[in-house]
């Protein structure tokens, strides 16, 4: 007997709510970080002029944040630590003495809502990226460096001699704890609530297009189809909802857009995705097919900002049936 698993009608849906955590940590064997971060992260810039800028729209919970930090800020902070400048007074970087300073080990320390500080190293170009928790309403940031790399050489012997001395000199780490923290007050920002709730409502599968190819004795094939119901914001002029899915452990993936299906009694909007098919399956009378796991994460996008729910980094999973039901 052949049985089909049909998606339930909208009127019969249970209205229980599901707790979600968007933008959570992602395991190495799951959806990679590029896939879960917002397609248009907020941008925070800390320039040498000590002005701080946030991209239009501000910071939003569940969103990725791209940080741009000018390391010359650290240079100015350290050099202003004495009346004649720290580098000049400590290393004779004046007159016939020349020096070159680099800050290559700066880290950003940040926390939300008075929680524990998280340390995020800056890349060589002064950038870093992190994801704001969906519960965040306040962000606090400061920058720290345990020291700087210093090169000194004698440059009072003429341009050619000075250039040769510079070439021979090497950098050495100088321990000097340096904080860029707005004089101990830290940089503080307001974080707005997520654009809208996002959750998986339910999912399931059904089979279709059964066939017994000629030449395969006691063998058969069929389409394994998958449906996913989502709770997401109401439709808008610039609103899209969908899933990113894979059946090969994220060696490849596809995006499938959801269709708006209606408003529930709770006032939430339901969206649906159908994968027809998710995979062509095959089996035989004497073999046990390998299990096929479909993994997916869900997203909603508005005004160029994509918010994700990836089940706290584990991804949602459906084990595709290995027999035709």
H-type alpha helices, the chain: 33-36, 72-79, 86-91, 159-168
Give the pLDDT band (50/70/90) at residue 34. Answer: very low
pLDDT at site 136: 87
Domain locations along the chain? 33-192, 195-320
The 10s digit of each residue's pLDDT in 250-295 is 999 999 999 999 887 766 788 999 998 888 877 766 666 677 899 9
Q: What's the rounded Cα separation, in Å, for the pair 321 and 308?
A: 27
Q: What is the pTM of this model?
A: 0.51
pLDDT at site 85: 63
Q: What's the rounded Cα separation, in Å, for the pair 151 and 140?
A: 34
pLDDT at site 19: 25
Q: Which residue has the higher pLDDT, 275 or 239?
A: 275
What CATH number should be reported for the domain whose range is 195-320?
2.60.40.10
Torsion of CA 20, 25, 29, 32, to 10 degrees: 100
Structural contact between residues 199 and 267, judged by C-beta atoms closer than 8 angstroms: no
Judged against a pLDDT cut of 90, whether residue 127 lies above it is answered with yes
Judged against a pLDDT cut of 80, whether residue 301 lies above it is answered with yes
pLDDT at site 27: 30
DSSP assignments along 205-216, one per residue: EEEEEEE--TT-
The 10s digit of each residue's pLDDT in 133-192 is 878 899 999 999 988 888 888 888 888 998 898 888 888 878 888 899 998 999 999 998
Residues 6+ apart with CB under 8 A from 260: 235, 241, 269, 270, 271
DSSP letter assigned to residue 106: -
Of 51-60, 76-85, 279-288, where does the model show the most confidence? 51-60
Give the pLDDT band (50/70/90) at residue 214. Answer: low
Structure tokens at 120: 């995020």
The 10s digit of each residue's pLDDT in 5-31 is 233 333 322 222 222 233 333 333 333
CA distances 201 to 119, 173, 269, 270, Å, are 35, 55, 11, 8
The 10s digit of each residue's pLDDT in 223-237 is 889 999 998 777 766
The 10s digit of each residue's pLDDT in 303-322 is 777 888 888 788 999 998 76
């Amino acid at each position: 007997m052949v049985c089909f698993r049909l998606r339930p009608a909208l009127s019969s849906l249970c209205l229980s709510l599901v707790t979600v955590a968007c933008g959570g940590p992602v395991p190495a064997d799951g959806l990679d970080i590029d896939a879960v971060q917002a397609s248009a992260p907020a941008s925070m810039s800390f320039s040498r002029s000590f002005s701080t800028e946030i991209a239009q729209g501000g910071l939003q919970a569940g969103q990725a944040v791209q940080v741009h930090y000018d390391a010359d800020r650290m240079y100015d902070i350290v050099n202003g630590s004495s009346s004649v400048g720290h580098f000049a007074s400590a290393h004779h970087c004046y007159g016939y003495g020349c020096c070159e300073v680099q800050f290559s080990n700066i880290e950003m320390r940040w926390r939300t809502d008075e929680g524990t500080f998280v340390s995020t190293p800056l890349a060589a170009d002064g950038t870093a990226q992190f994801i704001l928790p969906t519960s965040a309403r306040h962000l606090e940031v400061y920058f720290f460096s345990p020291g700087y790399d210093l090169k000194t050489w004698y440059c009072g012997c003429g341009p050619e001699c000075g250039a040769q001395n510079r070439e021979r000199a090497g950098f050495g780490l100088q321990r000097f704890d340096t904080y860029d923290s707005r004089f101990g007050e830290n940089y503080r920002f307001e974080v707005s609530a997520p654009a809208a709730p996002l959750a998986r409502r339910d999912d399931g599968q059904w089979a279709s297009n059964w066939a017994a190819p000629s030449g395969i004795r006691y063998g058969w094939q069929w389409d394994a189809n998958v449906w996913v119901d989502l709770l997401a914001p109401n439709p808008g002029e610039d609103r899209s909802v969908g899933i990113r899915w894979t059946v090969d452990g994220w060696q490849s993936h596809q995006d499938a857009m959801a269709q708006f299906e209606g408003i529930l009694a709770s006032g939430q909007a339901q969206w649906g995705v159908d994968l027809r098919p998710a995979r062509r399956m095959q089996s035989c009378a004497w073999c046990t097919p390998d299990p096929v796991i479909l993994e997916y994460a869900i997203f909603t996008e508005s005004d160029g900002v994509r918010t994700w729910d990836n089940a706290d980094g584990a991804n949602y999973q459906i084990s595709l049936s290995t027999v035709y039901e």
